[in-house]
Structure 1
Amino acid sequence: MKKLTFSFLFIIAALASFAQSQKGMKAIIDENMTYAAGQYKVLMQNVPADRMPRTFEPATGKFVTSDTKWWCSGFYPGTLWMIYDATKDEAIKAEALKRLAILEKEKNYTGNHDLGFMMYCSFGTAYAITKTPEYKDVIFTAAKSLTTRYRPSIASIQSWDSSKNFKCPVIIDNMMNLELLEWVTLNGGDKKYHEIAVTHSNTTLKNHFRPDNSSYHVLDYDLQTGKVSRKVTHQGFADESAWARGQVWGLYGYITMYRFTKDETYLKKAHQIADFVLHHKNLPADKIPYWDFDASDIPNAKRDASAGAILASALLELGQYTKGKQKAEYLSVAETILRALSSSDYRAAPGTNGGFLLQHSVGSLPHKSEVDQPLTYADYYFIEALGRFKKWYL
């Protein structure tokens, strides 16, 4: 009885503390959106008309762009749309429209597994705000393109094309692109898209996770036998390490799959991944992960603001499906992350950082690529998390 009473009082205290912080969070969120609109007006001045922003190199002052086939090409327009939705700034909307126009052709692209990032984070976000019918058509075409990478023999969507390094790689990041398929089926498209998303999710559940609920980054499959040839990393510290962004990609992905399917297996896996991340001995006090939970130079290892932003956004949705002490923990960690990212420790001063919002992300440290630099997806999930907090908890 005493244990039950203590648990009840803990939950009440935690929820009361969260309620007390709500007023302060509203001010933080509103200020961030105003800041983001101003900062992205700096960013848009740096981006050529036919390119997308990629990163900014603080040491050299170099602004780096990409073509529209780069896997991150959808994050910039998606972030613009979310900022517009929060601020109604017409200059931001005009830029968002321009970027959708140059991105649309990639709806037919079949060269990678990232059509969800590219086309759903952009056109999906735009459609949610504007309900423009043409955007829905783009999303449907993109889903069809993505399914060309489904390989029945391995019951998964192939990530990168075959090469001398990989026969048929499937990465944990794939879980993030299934929302595109589920959304299309839900909105009148073929049921096969949903079936592929579920099949891929189930295969990933079976093969990608370790006993402690951390995940491998890359599984290389044999297309002839359907079996896993090897389990390795591409962007993490080591094959058996827990690459931080990979863990939160998986978390976010299974939460999304639960939203569409209500399959309790997916919700259970999301809770298990969250438990691994939130209770890891190497998670810092501000909850912004090191780039890899097993990096050899912790506590001096680079932080990854992008992993923090994705984690916050994921936990806010997981909180929608959770009650009691667990819910309070998820919301508390998400708030801690958003407060940290809103501070000068991570958020760039106005007019700096090439116009990007967040500093200190890590793209791929093993490849010495985008290390301790801003990234478009860090900004995207930061803005998404702020919007989710305001919509669901204020």
Structure 2
Amino acid sequence: MKKIYTLFFSIWAFSAWSQPKIDVKKEFEFAAKQYEGMLASHPDITKFPQSTNPDGSPRDMKSSWWCSGFFGGSLWYIYEYTKQDKWKEAADKWTMAVEKEQYNTGTHDLGFMIYCPFGNGYRLTKNEAYKPIMLTGAKSLATRFDPKVGLIKSWNSFKGGYNYPVIIDNMMNLEFLFWAARESGNKELYNLSVTHADNTLKNHYRADNSAYHVICYGPNGEVLAKKNHQGAEDESPWARGQSWGLYGYTVMYRETKDPKYLDFARKIATFLLNHPNLPADKIPYWDYSKPGEERDASAGAIMASALLELSTYGGKDAKLYYDSAVKMLESLSKPPYKAELGKNNHFILQHSVGHKLGNSEIDVPLVYADYYYLEGLLRYDALRKKKK
């Protein structure tokens, strides 16, 4: 009887995981049309698409802005799906537009700025010109690691006089350093990434497995304060920060195969998917403590992409992760989150929140919401085809 049940469950699971719930082809056709409009409206490669201003005009930023790599990265994802040379050419153009940021030692966000465009470009084309740029960028990022503190410094200062703040977002830049460690043979880049992740796990997380946004450290790694910056309160779970952490620790398991990271990623997923304030469409409010307020499509897109990868590592909740991610992508692929063709300043998604407390980017499109949505679609498509 047990064998029959197991066979039945396997057939059911195979069928459930294999059924297409999202028309990936249609969604990439829409994304391509939107981004054709984006390219046409952005002839100046020193102005990077970011969001929409309160008056409805496009909000563009310089290459030194932490989001400058996402547009090129999204263009690479469109090329990956369509295989059309025009997208390869556009992606290369906007990737090279951030080349100079490889020398930027004043930011911890070089993973976003350099690895999202150059990393995807190198993965898809093996263009050797990209490799030294990434290796230089990784070295620049590593200069922000102080071995006495044991973490990569995020900002150079934080309100209250703290001069070694570390934000949960920083987990997202470790993937870049792991790549550079492999390609260069520099084991120190690997080691400092592990040290950063371990200290973040130790100090950034509460007993319920939710993350603080900002931890302020002293010169010897002592915790001086646990603070909020973009969330509602110091003790509230800021939605995008939770998604950054989930994604980051999933990557940590992929890169190290250390089971403690897989275990912790699963704990974060449990917190998020079981949160009483997670809406039925699974696109979170901008802060989990603020039900009824603005949603954050970017937090949903990041979480969906992370959960799809997490589902591939097995365990009793693998199907829950997969199904939840698919639900998120389904929600993002239709109104109100999906824009109308030709609208929304040519961004794909609507209804994200950048920094509500700072009165910045509230209920608007955000370039990184599009990036992780496209990544999620590609991961979903690959998993569905694999399971056929």
Is the TM value for this pair above 0.5?
A: yes
| Residue 311 (1) aligns with residue 317 (2) | no
Matched to 1:75, the amino acid is F
CA distance 1:164–1:205, shift in 2 (3 Å): closer
| Residue 157 (1) aligns with residue 152 (2) | yes
Among residues 342, 365, 368, which one is paired with 1:377 in the alignment? Answer: 368
Structure 2 CA distance, aligned partners of 1:88 and 1:15?
29
Contact in 1 for aligned 2:66/2:112 (Cα 8 Å): yes
Q: Quote the residue 2:58 is aligned against.
A: 63
Q: Quote the residue 2:107 is aligned against.
A: 112
Structure 1 CA distance, aligned partners of 2:67 and 2:304?
20
| Residue 361 (1) aligns with residue 352 (2) | yes
Superposed CA deviations along residues 221-273 of structure 1, whole A, max 9, x for unmatched, are: 111x4211000110001000000110110010011011110000110100000
Q: Quote the residue 1:96 is aligned against.
A: 91
Contact in 2 for aligned 1:361/1:371 (Cα 8 Å): yes
Q: Quote the residue 1:192 is aligned against.
A: 188
| Residue 138 (1) aligns with residue 137 (2) | no
| Residue 216 (1) aligns with residue 207 (2) | no
Q: Quote the residue 1:231 is aligned against.
A: 226
Taking structure 1 as the reference length, what is the TM-score of the superposition? 0.93
Matched to 1:55, the amino acid is S
Contact in 1 for aligned 2:92/2:121 (Cα 8 Å): no
Matched to 1:65, the amino acid is D
Map of 1:168-179 to 2, 5 A cutoff? 168-179=164-175
Matched to 2:60, the amino acid is T
**CA deviation after TM superposition for structure 1 residue 91, in Å:** 2.9
Q: Quote the residue 1:84 is aligned against.
A: 79
Matched to 1:185, the amino acid is A
Contact in 1 for aligned 2:308/2:380 (Cα 8 Å): yes
Contact in 2 for aligned 1:15/1:328 (Cα 8 Å): no
Q: What is the number of residues matched between the two proteins?
A: 383
Superposed CA deviations along residues 335-381 of structure 1, whole A, max 9, x for unmatched, are: 10111100021111110000100000000111111110001100000
Structure 2 CA distance, aligned partners of 1:190 and 1:14?
42
How large is the Cα RMSD of the aligned pairs? 1.8
**CA deviation after TM superposition for structure 1 residue 51, in Å:** 1.4
Matched to 2:171, the amino acid is M
Q: Quote the residue 1:17 is aligned against.
A: 16
Taking structure 2 as the reference length, what is the TM-score of the superposition? 0.95
Contact in 2 for aligned 1:41/1:92 (Cα 8 Å): no
Contact in 1 for aligned 2:228/2:234 (Cα 8 Å): yes
Determine what percentage of the aligned residue pairs are the same residue: 48
Map of 1:257-268 to 2, 5 A cutoff? 257-268=252-263
**CA deviation after TM superposition for structure 1 residue 101, in Å:** 2.1
Structure 1 CA distance, aligned partners of 2:351 and 2:242?
18
For structure 2, the residue ranges without an aligned partner over 5 or more in a row are none
Q: Quote the residue 2:379 is aligned against.
A: 388
Residue 329 of structure 2 aligns to a residue in which SS? helix
CA distance 1:266–1:367, shift in 2 (3 Å): same
Structure 2 CA distance, aligned partners of 1:303 and 1:11?
36
CA distance 1:5–1:236, shift in 2 (3 Å): farther
Residue 18 of structure 1 aligns to a residue in which SS? helix
**CA deviation after TM superposition for structure 1 residue 152, in Å:** 1.4
Structure 2 CA distance, aligned partners of 1:188 and 1:76?
27
Structure 2 CA distance, aligned partners of 1:11 and 1:248?
30
Matched to 1:16, the amino acid is S
**CA deviation after TM superposition for structure 1 residue 311, in Å:** 0.5
Among residues 313, 327, 334, which one is paired with 2:325 in the alignment? Answer: 334
**CA deviation after TM superposition for structure 1 residue 18, in Å:** 2.8
Superposed CA deviations along residues 104-145 of structure 1, whole A, max 9, x for unmatched, are: 010010111001010001100110100001111111111000
Among residues 122, 125, 143, which one is paired with 2:120 in the alignment? Answer: 125
Among residues 314, 334, 339, which one is paired with 1:348 in the alignment? Answer: 339
Structure 2 CA distance, aligned partners of 1:119 and 1:5?
51
Q: Quote the residue 1:276 is aligned against.
A: 271
Superposed CA deviations along residues 184-221 of structure 1, whole A, max 9, x for unmatched, are: 11223311100010000010111111111001000001
Moved beyond 6 Å, runs of 4+: 4-11
CA distance 1:362–1:208, shift in 2 (3 Å): same
Residue 261 of structure 2 aligns to a residue in which SS? helix
Residue 120 of structure 1 aligns to a residue in which SS? helix
**CA deviation after TM superposition for structure 1 residue 8, in Å:** 8.5
Q: Quote the residue 2:36 is aligned against.
A: 41
Contact in 1 for aligned 2:17/2:384 (Cα 8 Å): no
Q: Quote the residue 2:201 is aligned against.
A: 205
Map of 1:240-255 to 2, 5 A cutoff? 240-255=235-250
**CA deviation after TM superposition for structure 1 residue 85, in Å:** 1.4
Structure 1 CA distance, aligned partners of 2:9 and 2:170?
38
Contact in 1 for aligned 2:178/2:255 (Cα 8 Å): yes
User: Bigger CA drift: 168-177 or 155-164?
Assistant: 155-164
Structure 2 CA distance, aligned partners of 1:36 and 1:179?
26
CA distance 1:9–1:290, shift in 2 (3 Å): farther
Residue 281 of structure 1 aligns to a residue in which SS? coil
Residue 321 of structure 1 aligns to a residue in which SS? coil
User: Bigger CA drift: 77-86 or 90-99?
Assistant: 90-99
Contact in 2 for aligned 1:312/1:337 (Cα 8 Å): yes
Q: Quote the residue 1:167 is aligned against.
A: 163
